[in-house]
């Protein structure tokens, strides 16, 4: 099954993998596409208005808590409990099972594709001479960066 999927992806791309001359660029391009898919999925399958309203309320409560903390620790503790309740409610929206199920299969396919074509390369991404990443570390690093950028650009909560 995985082999057929990889052949299908190679056929769709129009040539065999690797995509470019550099595995780092390949992983980056893949993470851009996956991050875009994930961001758009979150944007259109979650209640963005409710999430943004909850986050705004939590920021306001945190600001109140900072002001009150030294004067009235009991009130600050009550505000902290309210923030925790709002955070739990926020998690209900962001950890939506519908979104997770919709994105699970594509992620499995992408990881199997990357593992098949890039795991044999070992460590290939050097970060300022401090550490080296293989395909998984490179994917995670680029995915975090791309997700942050895309969420800002597409106004996703």
pLDDT tens digits for the chain (157 residues)? Answer: 555 555 555 555 544 556 777 888 889 999 999 999 999 999 999 999 999 999 999 999 999 988 888 888 888 899 999 999 999 999 888 888 889 999 999 999 999 999 988 888 778 777 777 778 888 888 999 999 999 999 999 999 8
Entry pTM: 0.74
Handedness of CA 92, 100, 26, 137 (dihedral sign): positive
Domain residue limits, the chain: 1-8+20-46+96-157, 47-95
23-52 b/e (C-beta count within 10 Å ≥ 16 → b): bbebbbebbbebbebbbebbeeebeeeebe
Secondary structure class of 121 (helix, strand, coil): helix
């Amino acid at each position: 099954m995985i082999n057929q999927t990889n052949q299908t992806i190679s056929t769709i791309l129009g040539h065999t993998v690797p995509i470019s001359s550099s595995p780092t660029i390949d992983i980056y391009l893949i993470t851009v596409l996956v991050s875009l898919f994930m961001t758009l999925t979150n944007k259109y399958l979650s209640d963005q208005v409710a999430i943004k309203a909850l986050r705004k309320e939590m920021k306001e409560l945190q600001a109140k808590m900072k002001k009150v903390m030294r004067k009235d620790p009991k009130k600050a503790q009550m505000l902290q409990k309210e923030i925790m309740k709002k955070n739990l409610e926020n998690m209900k929206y962001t950890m939506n099972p519908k979104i997770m199920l919709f994105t699970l299969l594509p992620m499995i396919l992408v990881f199997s594709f990357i593992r098949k074509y890039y795991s044999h390369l070992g460590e290939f991404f050097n970060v300022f001479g401090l550490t080296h990443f293989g395909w998984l570390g490179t994917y995670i690093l680029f995915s975090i960066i791309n997700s942050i950028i895309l969420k800002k650009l597409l106004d996703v909560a």
